[in-house]
Structure 1
Amino acid sequence: MKNPENRFRAALKAGRQQIGLWNTIGGNTVPEALAGCGFDWVVIDTEHSAVEVVDVLGALQSMAAWPWVSPVVRPAFNDPVLIKRILDFGAQTLLLPYIQSADEARAAVRAVRYPPAGIRGVAGMTRASRYGAIDGYTATANDEICLLLQVETRAALEAIESIATVEGVDGIFIGPADLAASLGHPGNPGHPEVVAAIEGAIATLKSLGVPSGILSLDEAFVRRCMELGTTFTAVGVDLALLVSGVRALRARFSA
Protein backbone atom coordinates (compact mmCIF):
# COMPACT_ATOMS: atom_id res chain seq x y z
CA MET A 1 0.00 0.00 0.00
CA LYS A 2 1.27 3.46 -0.92
CA ASN A 3 1.25 6.50 1.33
CA PRO A 4 -1.94 8.45 0.40
CA GLU A 5 -1.46 11.69 -1.51
CA ASN A 6 -2.17 14.82 0.52
CA ARG A 7 -4.86 16.34 -1.68
CA PHE A 8 -4.86 19.58 0.30
CA ARG A 9 -1.14 20.09 -0.25
CA ALA A 10 -1.46 19.24 -3.95
CA ALA A 11 -4.25 21.80 -4.35
CA LEU A 12 -2.18 24.46 -2.57
CA LYS A 13 0.73 23.87 -4.93
CA ALA A 14 -1.63 24.04 -7.92
CA GLY A 15 -3.08 27.34 -6.67
CA ARG A 16 -6.64 26.03 -6.49
CA GLN A 17 -9.03 27.80 -4.11
CA GLN A 18 -10.09 25.61 -1.19
CA ILE A 19 -13.04 26.63 0.96
CA GLY A 20 -12.90 25.48 4.57
CA LEU A 21 -14.81 25.24 7.82
CA TRP A 22 -13.81 25.17 11.50
CA ASN A 23 -14.72 22.25 13.75
CA THR A 24 -14.70 23.15 17.46
CA ILE A 25 -17.41 20.78 18.73
CA GLY A 26 -15.84 17.59 20.06
CA GLY A 27 -16.84 13.99 19.55
CA ASN A 28 -17.11 11.99 16.34
CA THR A 29 -20.57 12.97 15.10
CA VAL A 30 -20.03 16.65 14.27
CA PRO A 31 -16.73 16.13 12.38
CA GLU A 32 -18.36 13.31 10.42
CA ALA A 33 -21.41 15.43 9.59
CA LEU A 34 -19.29 18.44 8.59
CA ALA A 35 -17.11 16.29 6.35
CA GLY A 36 -20.15 15.44 4.27
CA CYS A 37 -21.17 19.06 3.67
CA GLY A 38 -19.00 19.64 0.61
CA PHE A 39 -16.16 21.74 2.01
CA ASP A 40 -12.64 21.18 0.73
CA TRP A 41 -11.08 21.20 4.19
CA VAL A 42 -12.21 21.12 7.80
CA VAL A 43 -10.04 22.23 10.71
CA ILE A 44 -10.17 20.07 13.83
CA ASP A 45 -9.30 22.71 16.39
CA THR A 46 -7.61 21.80 19.66
CA GLU A 47 -6.40 25.33 20.47
CA HIS A 48 -9.63 27.23 21.15
CA SER A 49 -12.01 24.36 21.90
CA ALA A 50 -12.66 21.56 24.35
CA VAL A 51 -11.23 19.04 21.88
CA GLU A 52 -8.30 17.16 23.41
CA VAL A 53 -5.45 15.56 21.50
CA VAL A 54 -6.84 12.05 21.92
CA ASP A 55 -10.18 13.22 20.43
CA VAL A 56 -8.43 14.01 17.16
CA LEU A 57 -8.05 10.31 16.38
CA GLY A 58 -11.81 9.67 16.43
CA ALA A 59 -12.50 12.82 14.43
CA LEU A 60 -10.05 11.77 11.73
CA GLN A 61 -11.53 8.29 11.61
CA SER A 62 -15.04 9.72 11.26
CA MET A 63 -14.07 12.13 8.51
CA ALA A 64 -12.34 9.40 6.51
CA ALA A 65 -15.73 8.27 5.19
CA TRP A 66 -15.77 11.40 3.00
CA PRO A 67 -12.67 11.16 0.79
CA TRP A 68 -13.05 14.57 -0.87
CA VAL A 69 -12.56 16.58 2.33
CA SER A 70 -9.12 17.21 3.80
CA PRO A 71 -8.84 17.24 7.59
CA VAL A 72 -6.52 19.92 8.95
CA VAL A 73 -5.58 19.69 12.63
CA ARG A 74 -4.65 22.69 14.75
CA PRO A 75 -2.56 21.73 17.78
CA ALA A 76 -2.75 23.98 20.81
CA PHE A 77 0.85 25.10 20.34
CA ASN A 78 4.01 24.61 18.30
CA ASP A 79 5.01 21.68 20.50
CA PRO A 80 6.87 18.69 19.00
CA VAL A 81 5.24 16.30 21.46
CA LEU A 82 1.71 17.36 20.47
CA ILE A 83 2.69 17.40 16.81
CA LYS A 84 4.18 13.91 16.98
CA ARG A 85 1.03 12.42 18.45
CA ILE A 86 -1.30 14.10 15.97
CA LEU A 87 0.81 13.00 13.02
CA ASP A 88 0.79 9.43 14.34
CA PHE A 89 -3.02 9.60 14.36
CA GLY A 90 -2.84 10.06 10.60
CA ALA A 91 -3.15 13.83 10.16
CA GLN A 92 -1.29 14.95 7.05
CA THR A 93 -1.90 18.70 7.37
CA LEU A 94 -1.21 20.76 10.49
CA LEU A 95 -2.00 24.39 11.25
CA LEU A 96 0.32 25.69 13.96
CA PRO A 97 -0.72 28.82 15.89
CA TYR A 98 1.26 31.81 17.08
CA ILE A 99 4.43 31.54 15.02
CA GLN A 100 6.55 34.58 15.78
CA SER A 101 9.83 34.11 13.95
CA ALA A 102 11.75 32.19 11.32
CA ASP A 103 13.40 30.18 14.10
CA GLU A 104 9.99 29.05 15.34
CA ALA A 105 9.04 28.19 11.76
CA ARG A 106 12.17 26.08 11.38
CA ALA A 107 11.38 24.32 14.66
CA ALA A 108 7.92 23.51 13.32
CA VAL A 109 9.38 22.06 10.13
CA ARG A 110 11.72 19.84 12.15
CA ALA A 111 8.82 18.67 14.33
CA VAL A 112 6.77 17.39 11.38
CA ARG A 113 9.63 15.59 9.63
CA TYR A 114 11.32 12.29 10.33
CA PRO A 115 15.12 12.28 10.70
CA PRO A 116 17.50 13.18 9.27
CA ALA A 117 15.42 16.18 8.12
CA GLY A 118 13.66 16.56 11.47
CA ILE A 119 12.99 15.19 14.94
CA ARG A 120 9.64 13.39 14.60
CA GLY A 121 9.76 10.20 16.63
CA VAL A 122 9.42 6.92 14.76
CA ALA A 123 6.76 4.36 15.66
CA GLY A 124 5.55 1.43 13.58
CA MET A 125 2.01 0.61 14.60
CA THR A 126 0.21 3.90 14.08
CA ARG A 127 -2.84 4.94 12.08
CA ALA A 128 -0.53 7.15 10.00
CA SER A 129 1.20 4.06 8.61
CA ARG A 130 -2.14 2.21 8.43
CA TYR A 131 -0.78 0.03 11.21
CA GLY A 132 2.22 -1.01 9.16
CA ALA A 133 0.38 -1.57 5.87
CA ILE A 134 1.97 1.40 4.04
CA ASP A 135 5.18 0.28 2.38
CA GLY A 136 8.12 2.38 3.53
CA TYR A 137 5.93 4.88 5.41
CA THR A 138 8.82 6.36 7.40
CA ALA A 139 10.80 6.97 4.21
CA THR A 140 7.92 8.68 2.37
CA ALA A 141 5.89 10.40 5.10
CA ASN A 142 7.73 13.74 4.85
CA ASP A 143 6.66 14.07 1.21
CA GLU A 144 2.96 14.25 2.06
CA ILE A 145 3.00 16.37 5.22
CA CYS A 146 1.61 19.87 4.77
CA LEU A 147 2.66 22.55 7.25
CA LEU A 148 0.64 25.73 7.67
CA LEU A 149 1.78 28.44 10.07
CA GLN A 150 -0.32 31.13 11.70
CA VAL A 151 0.85 34.74 11.61
CA GLU A 152 -1.29 36.66 14.08
CA THR A 153 0.67 39.39 15.84
CA ARG A 154 2.43 42.64 14.97
CA ALA A 155 5.81 40.96 15.52
CA ALA A 156 4.90 38.06 13.25
CA LEU A 157 3.73 40.43 10.52
CA GLU A 158 7.06 42.23 10.68
CA ALA A 159 8.80 38.87 10.19
CA ILE A 160 6.34 37.45 7.67
CA GLU A 161 8.79 37.21 4.78
CA SER A 162 11.40 35.34 6.79
CA ILE A 163 8.73 33.02 8.26
CA ALA A 164 7.03 32.30 4.95
CA THR A 165 10.23 31.50 3.08
CA VAL A 166 11.52 28.88 5.51
CA GLU A 167 12.00 25.68 3.53
CA GLY A 168 9.24 23.24 4.42
CA VAL A 169 6.53 25.83 5.11
CA ASP A 170 3.60 25.18 2.75
CA GLY A 171 1.36 28.12 3.59
CA ILE A 172 0.72 31.04 5.94
CA PHE A 173 -2.59 31.53 7.70
CA ILE A 174 -3.45 35.03 8.91
CA GLY A 175 -5.33 35.12 12.23
CA PRO A 176 -7.59 38.22 12.23
CA ALA A 177 -8.79 38.06 15.85
CA ASP A 178 -5.37 37.79 17.49
CA LEU A 179 -3.92 40.24 15.01
CA ALA A 180 -6.59 42.78 15.91
CA ALA A 181 -5.75 42.42 19.59
CA SER A 182 -2.02 42.70 18.91
CA LEU A 183 -2.57 45.89 16.92
CA GLY A 184 -4.55 47.44 19.77
CA HIS A 185 -8.06 46.72 18.51
CA PRO A 186 -9.26 43.68 20.52
CA GLY A 187 -12.57 42.34 19.33
CA ASN A 188 -12.51 44.52 16.21
CA PRO A 189 -10.93 42.68 13.27
CA GLY A 190 -12.82 45.03 10.96
CA HIS A 191 -10.83 48.06 12.13
CA PRO A 192 -9.20 49.79 9.14
CA GLU A 193 -5.69 49.27 10.53
CA VAL A 194 -6.32 45.53 10.92
CA VAL A 195 -7.89 45.20 7.48
CA ALA A 196 -4.97 47.07 5.92
CA ALA A 197 -2.50 44.80 7.72
CA ILE A 198 -4.29 41.67 6.52
CA GLU A 199 -4.53 42.90 2.95
CA GLY A 200 -0.85 43.84 3.03
CA ALA A 201 0.11 40.41 4.33
CA ILE A 202 -1.87 38.67 1.59
CA ALA A 203 -0.17 40.85 -1.02
CA THR A 204 3.27 40.09 0.43
CA LEU A 205 2.64 36.36 0.44
CA LYS A 206 1.34 36.47 -3.11
CA SER A 207 4.50 38.27 -4.23
CA LEU A 208 6.57 35.55 -2.54
CA GLY A 209 4.58 32.78 -4.17
CA VAL A 210 3.51 31.44 -0.76
CA PRO A 211 -0.14 30.31 -0.33
CA SER A 212 -2.14 32.34 2.16
CA GLY A 213 -5.24 31.52 4.16
CA ILE A 214 -7.69 33.15 6.54
CA LEU A 215 -10.83 32.53 8.59
CA SER A 216 -13.57 35.15 8.68
CA LEU A 217 -17.30 35.08 9.35
CA ASP A 218 -17.67 38.35 7.43
CA GLU A 219 -18.68 37.09 3.99
CA ALA A 220 -17.91 40.33 2.18
CA PHE A 221 -14.44 40.52 3.73
CA VAL A 222 -13.63 36.88 3.09
CA ARG A 223 -14.59 37.30 -0.57
CA ARG A 224 -12.31 40.33 -0.69
CA CYS A 225 -9.46 38.23 0.71
CA MET A 226 -10.07 35.60 -1.97
CA GLU A 227 -9.92 38.30 -4.64
CA LEU A 228 -6.62 39.49 -3.20
CA GLY A 229 -5.15 36.00 -3.29
CA THR A 230 -6.01 33.69 -0.36
CA THR A 231 -6.24 30.12 -1.59
CA PHE A 232 -7.22 28.27 1.59
CA THR A 233 -10.12 30.26 2.94
CA ALA A 234 -12.31 29.29 5.91
CA VAL A 235 -15.78 30.79 5.96
CA GLY A 236 -17.50 29.43 9.06
CA VAL A 237 -17.24 27.89 12.53
CA ASP A 238 -19.52 25.02 13.52
CA LEU A 239 -20.49 26.44 16.92
CA ALA A 240 -21.15 29.90 15.48
CA LEU A 241 -23.34 28.40 12.76
CA LEU A 242 -25.24 26.36 15.35
CA VAL A 243 -25.88 29.32 17.64
CA SER A 244 -26.86 31.69 14.83
CA GLY A 245 -29.22 29.12 13.35
CA VAL A 246 -30.87 28.42 16.71
CA ARG A 247 -31.24 32.14 17.47
CA ALA A 248 -32.77 32.75 14.05
CA LEU A 249 -35.22 29.91 14.61
CA ARG A 250 -36.22 31.29 18.00
CA ALA A 251 -36.64 34.76 16.53
CA ARG A 252 -39.08 33.45 13.94
CA PHE A 253 -41.30 32.24 16.78
CA SER A 254 -41.06 35.39 18.88
CA ALA A 255 -44.17 37.43 19.55
Structure 2
Amino acid sequence: MPLRVEGTFRDALAKADRPLAGMWVCSGSPLIAELCAGSGLDWLLIDAEHSPNGLESILAQLQAVNGYAVHAVVRPPFNDTVLIKQYLDLGVQNLLIPMVNSVAEAEAAVAATRYPPQGVRGVGSALARAARWNRVPDYLARAGETISVTVQVESTAAVDSVADILKVDGVDAIFLGPSDLAASLGLLGQQEHPDVRAAVEHCLHAAKAAGKPAGVNAFNPVIAHHYLDAGASFVLVGADVALLARGSEALAAEYIKPDNGDSSNDGTPASY
Protein backbone atom coordinates (compact mmCIF):
# COMPACT_ATOMS: atom_id res chain seq x y z
CA MET A 1 0.00 0.00 0.00
CA PRO A 2 1.47 3.42 -0.91
CA LEU A 3 2.57 5.62 1.96
CA ARG A 4 0.69 8.82 2.74
CA VAL A 5 1.98 12.05 1.23
CA GLU A 6 3.66 14.80 3.22
CA GLY A 7 3.12 18.52 2.76
CA THR A 8 0.36 20.39 1.01
CA PHE A 9 -0.88 20.46 -2.56
CA ARG A 10 1.03 23.74 -2.86
CA ASP A 11 4.23 21.89 -1.96
CA ALA A 12 3.49 19.13 -4.46
CA LEU A 13 2.96 21.64 -7.27
CA ALA A 14 6.20 23.42 -6.39
CA LYS A 15 8.22 20.19 -6.40
CA ALA A 16 6.63 18.52 -9.43
CA ASP A 17 8.62 18.06 -12.62
CA ARG A 18 5.44 17.37 -14.59
CA PRO A 19 1.77 18.37 -14.45
CA LEU A 20 -0.25 16.68 -11.71
CA ALA A 21 -3.25 14.61 -12.77
CA GLY A 22 -6.30 14.09 -10.62
CA MET A 23 -9.96 13.13 -10.56
CA TRP A 24 -13.19 14.19 -8.90
CA VAL A 25 -14.57 12.18 -5.97
CA CYS A 26 -18.28 12.99 -5.91
CA SER A 27 -20.03 9.89 -4.60
CA GLY A 28 -19.75 10.78 -0.92
CA SER A 29 -18.46 7.27 -0.25
CA PRO A 30 -15.28 6.70 1.80
CA LEU A 31 -14.91 3.31 0.11
CA ILE A 32 -14.96 4.84 -3.37
CA ALA A 33 -12.60 7.61 -2.21
CA GLU A 34 -10.13 5.00 -0.93
CA LEU A 35 -10.46 2.99 -4.14
CA CYS A 36 -9.62 6.10 -6.17
CA ALA A 37 -6.78 7.03 -3.80
CA GLY A 38 -4.94 3.85 -4.75
CA SER A 39 -5.20 4.52 -8.48
CA GLY A 40 -1.79 6.14 -8.88
CA LEU A 41 -3.22 9.58 -9.62
CA ASP A 42 -1.58 12.58 -7.95
CA TRP A 43 -4.63 14.19 -6.38
CA LEU A 44 -8.32 13.82 -5.66
CA LEU A 45 -10.92 16.57 -5.49
CA ILE A 46 -13.52 15.74 -2.85
CA ASP A 47 -16.41 17.92 -3.94
CA ALA A 48 -19.15 19.45 -1.78
CA GLU A 49 -20.41 22.05 -4.26
CA HIS A 50 -22.27 19.69 -6.58
CA SER A 51 -22.11 16.44 -4.58
CA PRO A 52 -23.83 14.94 -1.51
CA ASN A 53 -21.00 15.71 0.90
CA GLY A 54 -21.37 17.15 4.40
CA LEU A 55 -18.90 17.50 7.24
CA GLU A 56 -19.21 13.88 8.37
CA SER A 57 -18.72 12.36 4.91
CA ILE A 58 -15.77 14.63 4.16
CA LEU A 59 -14.14 13.59 7.42
CA ALA A 60 -14.67 9.91 6.61
CA GLN A 61 -13.15 10.35 3.15
CA LEU A 62 -10.13 12.20 4.51
CA GLN A 63 -9.56 9.31 6.90
CA ALA A 64 -10.01 6.76 4.11
CA VAL A 65 -7.42 8.31 1.78
CA ASN A 66 -4.93 9.28 4.46
CA GLY A 67 -2.80 6.17 3.99
CA TYR A 68 -2.25 6.71 0.27
CA ALA A 69 0.23 8.69 -1.80
CA VAL A 70 -2.38 11.14 -3.06
CA HIS A 71 -3.23 14.73 -2.17
CA ALA A 72 -6.82 15.31 -1.07
CA VAL A 73 -8.21 18.69 -2.13
CA VAL A 74 -11.68 19.64 -0.87
CA ARG A 75 -14.10 22.04 -2.52
CA PRO A 76 -16.72 23.67 -0.27
CA PRO A 77 -20.06 24.65 -1.77
CA PHE A 78 -19.18 28.35 -1.60
CA ASN A 79 -16.68 30.86 -0.27
CA ASP A 80 -17.92 31.00 3.32
CA THR A 81 -15.79 31.88 6.35
CA VAL A 82 -17.70 29.66 8.80
CA LEU A 83 -17.74 26.63 6.51
CA ILE A 84 -14.04 27.00 5.70
CA LYS A 85 -13.30 27.11 9.45
CA GLN A 86 -15.19 23.86 9.93
CA TYR A 87 -13.38 22.20 7.02
CA LEU A 88 -9.99 23.24 8.37
CA ASP A 89 -10.80 21.98 11.85
CA LEU A 90 -11.79 18.63 10.30
CA GLY A 91 -8.26 18.36 8.96
CA VAL A 92 -8.74 19.62 5.39
CA GLN A 93 -5.35 20.94 4.30
CA ASN A 94 -6.01 21.77 0.66
CA LEU A 95 -8.97 23.94 -0.32
CA LEU A 96 -10.40 24.72 -3.75
CA ILE A 97 -12.71 27.70 -3.34
CA PRO A 98 -15.36 27.99 -6.07
CA MET A 99 -16.70 31.09 -7.81
CA VAL A 100 -13.99 33.55 -6.80
CA ASN A 101 -14.74 36.52 -9.02
CA SER A 102 -12.67 39.36 -7.58
CA VAL A 103 -9.65 40.34 -5.52
CA ALA A 104 -11.89 40.98 -2.52
CA GLU A 105 -13.36 37.47 -2.72
CA ALA A 106 -9.87 35.95 -3.06
CA GLU A 107 -8.69 37.91 -0.04
CA ALA A 108 -11.72 36.73 1.94
CA ALA A 109 -10.94 33.10 1.08
CA VAL A 110 -7.38 33.45 2.30
CA ALA A 111 -8.43 35.34 5.45
CA ALA A 112 -10.79 32.49 6.35
CA THR A 113 -7.79 30.13 6.53
CA ARG A 114 -5.60 32.34 8.74
CA TYR A 115 -5.79 33.00 12.45
CA PRO A 116 -5.81 36.63 13.63
CA PRO A 117 -4.17 39.01 13.08
CA GLN A 118 -3.49 37.70 9.55
CA GLY A 119 -7.07 36.48 9.10
CA VAL A 120 -10.38 35.66 10.72
CA ARG A 121 -10.28 31.91 11.37
CA GLY A 122 -11.90 31.06 14.69
CA VAL A 123 -9.62 29.46 17.27
CA GLY A 124 -10.68 25.97 18.35
CA SER A 125 -7.63 23.82 17.72
CA ALA A 126 -7.85 22.07 21.11
CA LEU A 127 -11.11 20.52 19.88
CA ALA A 128 -10.03 19.86 16.32
CA ARG A 129 -8.59 17.01 14.29
CA ALA A 130 -6.46 19.57 12.42
CA ALA A 131 -4.21 19.96 15.47
CA ARG A 132 -4.67 16.33 16.49
CA TRP A 133 -6.52 17.69 19.52
CA ASN A 134 -3.57 19.83 20.64
CA ARG A 135 -0.98 17.18 19.82
CA VAL A 136 0.64 19.23 17.02
CA PRO A 137 3.26 21.50 18.62
CA ASP A 138 2.75 25.23 17.92
CA TYR A 139 -0.19 24.52 15.62
CA LEU A 140 -1.68 27.99 16.06
CA ALA A 141 1.57 29.62 14.95
CA ARG A 142 2.22 27.17 12.12
CA ALA A 143 -1.27 26.45 10.81
CA GLY A 144 -0.82 28.57 7.69
CA GLU A 145 2.08 26.37 6.61
CA THR A 146 -0.21 23.33 6.58
CA ILE A 147 -2.92 24.82 4.34
CA SER A 148 -3.02 25.49 0.60
CA VAL A 149 -5.59 27.73 -1.07
CA THR A 150 -6.58 27.39 -4.71
CA VAL A 151 -9.29 29.69 -6.04
CA GLN A 152 -11.55 28.84 -8.92
CA VAL A 153 -11.76 31.20 -11.90
CA GLU A 154 -15.00 30.41 -13.68
CA SER A 155 -16.69 33.64 -14.77
CA THR A 156 -16.01 36.51 -17.14
CA ALA A 157 -15.53 38.79 -14.12
CA ALA A 158 -12.88 36.46 -12.73
CA VAL A 159 -11.11 36.20 -16.09
CA ASP A 160 -11.04 40.00 -16.33
CA SER A 161 -9.52 40.21 -12.83
CA VAL A 162 -7.27 37.15 -13.01
CA ALA A 163 -3.97 39.04 -13.01
CA ASP A 164 -4.95 40.85 -9.80
CA ILE A 165 -6.40 37.71 -8.20
CA LEU A 166 -3.07 35.98 -8.80
CA LYS A 167 -1.30 38.77 -6.86
CA VAL A 168 -3.28 38.09 -3.67
CA ASP A 169 -0.94 36.90 -0.94
CA GLY A 170 -2.00 33.42 0.14
CA VAL A 171 -3.56 32.41 -3.17
CA ASP A 172 -1.35 29.47 -4.05
CA ALA A 173 -2.92 28.56 -7.40
CA ILE A 174 -5.92 29.13 -9.63
CA PHE A 175 -8.18 26.52 -11.18
CA LEU A 176 -10.18 27.10 -14.35
CA GLY A 177 -13.76 25.83 -14.62
CA PRO A 178 -14.69 25.78 -18.32
CA SER A 179 -18.31 24.72 -17.75
CA ASP A 180 -19.31 27.69 -15.62
CA LEU A 181 -17.07 29.94 -17.68
CA ALA A 182 -18.96 28.86 -20.80
CA ALA A 183 -22.25 29.69 -19.09
CA SER A 184 -20.91 33.09 -18.06
CA LEU A 185 -19.99 33.74 -21.70
CA GLY A 186 -23.50 32.84 -22.85
CA LEU A 187 -22.31 29.49 -24.18
CA LEU A 188 -24.01 27.10 -21.77
CA GLY A 189 -22.87 23.52 -22.34
CA GLN A 190 -20.16 24.55 -24.81
CA GLN A 191 -17.06 24.33 -22.65
CA GLU A 192 -14.90 23.50 -25.69
CA HIS A 193 -16.05 26.56 -27.65
CA PRO A 194 -13.13 28.62 -29.04
CA ASP A 195 -14.09 31.61 -26.87
CA VAL A 196 -14.00 29.48 -23.74
CA ARG A 197 -10.68 27.95 -24.70
CA ALA A 198 -9.28 31.42 -25.36
CA ALA A 199 -10.37 32.59 -21.90
CA VAL A 200 -8.79 29.55 -20.26
CA GLU A 201 -5.56 30.07 -22.18
CA HIS A 202 -5.52 33.74 -21.19
CA CYS A 203 -5.65 32.70 -17.52
CA LEU A 204 -2.96 30.05 -17.99
CA HIS A 205 -0.66 32.67 -19.50
CA ALA A 206 -1.47 35.12 -16.69
CA ALA A 207 -0.59 32.47 -14.09
CA LYS A 208 2.70 31.72 -15.79
CA ALA A 209 3.55 35.43 -15.82
CA ALA A 210 2.71 35.63 -12.10
CA GLY A 211 4.78 32.55 -11.28
CA LYS A 212 1.83 30.63 -9.84
CA PRO A 213 0.35 27.28 -10.89
CA ALA A 214 -2.89 27.09 -12.84
CA GLY A 215 -5.06 24.03 -13.32
CA VAL A 216 -8.08 23.18 -15.42
CA ASN A 217 -10.94 20.72 -15.56
CA ALA A 218 -10.92 18.75 -18.83
CA PHE A 219 -12.48 15.32 -19.25
CA ASN A 220 -11.83 15.23 -23.01
CA PRO A 221 -8.26 13.90 -23.38
CA VAL A 222 -7.64 16.00 -26.49
CA ILE A 223 -8.63 19.19 -24.68
CA ALA A 224 -6.74 18.16 -21.53
CA HIS A 225 -3.52 17.68 -23.48
CA HIS A 226 -4.11 20.97 -25.28
CA TYR A 227 -4.30 22.82 -21.96
CA LEU A 228 -1.28 20.95 -20.64
CA ASP A 229 0.65 22.06 -23.70
CA ALA A 230 -0.60 25.60 -23.04
CA GLY A 231 0.93 25.55 -19.56
CA ALA A 232 -1.53 23.95 -17.13
CA SER A 233 0.26 22.69 -14.02
CA PHE A 234 -2.51 20.36 -12.90
CA VAL A 235 -5.67 18.85 -14.36
CA LEU A 236 -8.81 16.98 -13.40
CA VAL A 237 -9.47 14.33 -16.02
CA GLY A 238 -12.33 12.19 -14.69
CA ALA A 239 -14.82 11.56 -11.91
CA ASP A 240 -15.81 8.53 -9.88
CA VAL A 241 -19.51 8.88 -10.68
CA ALA A 242 -18.87 9.43 -14.40
CA LEU A 243 -16.60 6.40 -14.63
CA LEU A 244 -19.19 4.23 -12.90
CA ALA A 245 -22.03 5.59 -15.05
CA ARG A 246 -20.19 5.08 -18.35
CA GLY A 247 -18.78 1.71 -17.29
CA SER A 248 -22.17 0.34 -16.25
CA GLU A 249 -23.72 1.65 -19.49
CA ALA A 250 -21.01 -0.14 -21.46
CA LEU A 251 -21.88 -3.40 -19.68
CA ALA A 252 -25.55 -2.94 -20.51
CA ALA A 253 -24.76 -2.18 -24.15
CA GLU A 254 -22.56 -5.27 -24.38
CA TYR A 255 -24.93 -7.79 -22.84
CA ILE A 256 -28.49 -6.53 -23.42
CA LYS A 257 -29.82 -6.45 -26.96
CA PRO A 258 -31.99 -3.44 -27.80
CA ASP A 259 -35.70 -3.96 -28.43
CA ASN A 260 -36.14 -3.19 -32.13
CA GLY A 261 -39.89 -3.52 -32.10
CA ASP A 262 -39.93 -7.34 -32.37
CA SER A 263 -43.23 -8.38 -30.74
CA SER A 264 -41.74 -11.76 -29.89
CA ASN A 265 -39.48 -10.11 -27.35
CA ASP A 266 -40.99 -10.89 -23.93
CA GLY A 267 -38.67 -8.57 -22.01
CA THR A 268 -36.31 -11.32 -20.90
CA PRO A 269 -32.65 -10.23 -21.27
CA ALA A 270 -31.08 -11.82 -24.32
CA SER A 271 -28.89 -14.87 -23.81
CA TYR A 272 -25.46 -14.80 -25.42
Partner of 1:155 in structure 2? 157
CA shift, 1:130, in A, is 1.3
Partner of 1:49 in structure 2? 51
TM-score (norm. length: structure 2) = 0.89
CA shift, 1:230, in A, is 1.0
Deviating more after overlay: 172-181 vs 241-250: 241-250
CA shift, 1:18, in A, is 1.2
**1:108 matched to 2:79:** no
Partner of 2:209 in structure 1? 207
CA RMSD of aligned residues (A): 1.3
Partner of 2:265 in structure 1? none
Superposition map of 1:112-191 within 5 A: 112-123=113-124, 124-191=126-193
Partner of 2:200 in structure 1? 198
| Matching residue's letter, 1:242 | L
- The runs of at least 4 aligned residues of structure 1 exceeding 6 Å deviation read none
CA shift, 1:200, in A, is 1.6
CA shift, 1:199, in A, is 1.4
Aligned residues: 251
TM-score (norm. length: structure 1) = 0.95
Q: For residue 48 of structure 1, give the secondary structure of its aligned residue in structure 2.
A: coil
Partner of 2:86 in structure 1? 85
Alignment partners' CA distance in 2, 1:12 and 1:113: 21
Alignment partners' CA distance in 2, 1:253 and 1:60: 37
Alignment partners' CA distance in 2, 1:133 and 1:143: 16
Alignment partners' CA distance in 1, 2:11 and 2:238: 23
Q: Is the 8 A contact 2:8 2:147 kept in 1?
A: no
Q: For residue 128 of structure 1, give the secondary structure of its aligned residue in structure 2.
A: helix
Deviating more after overlay: 125-134 vs 38-47: 125-134
Identity of aligned residues (%): 43
Alignment partners' CA distance in 1, 2:65 and 2:215: 22
5+ residue gaps, structure 1, are: none
Alignment partners' CA distance in 1, 2:104 and 2:129: 30
CA shift, 1:54, in A, is 2.7
| Matching residue's letter, 2:82 | V
Q: Is the 8 A contact 2:8 2:148 kept in 1?
A: no
CA shift, 1:30, in A, is 1.1
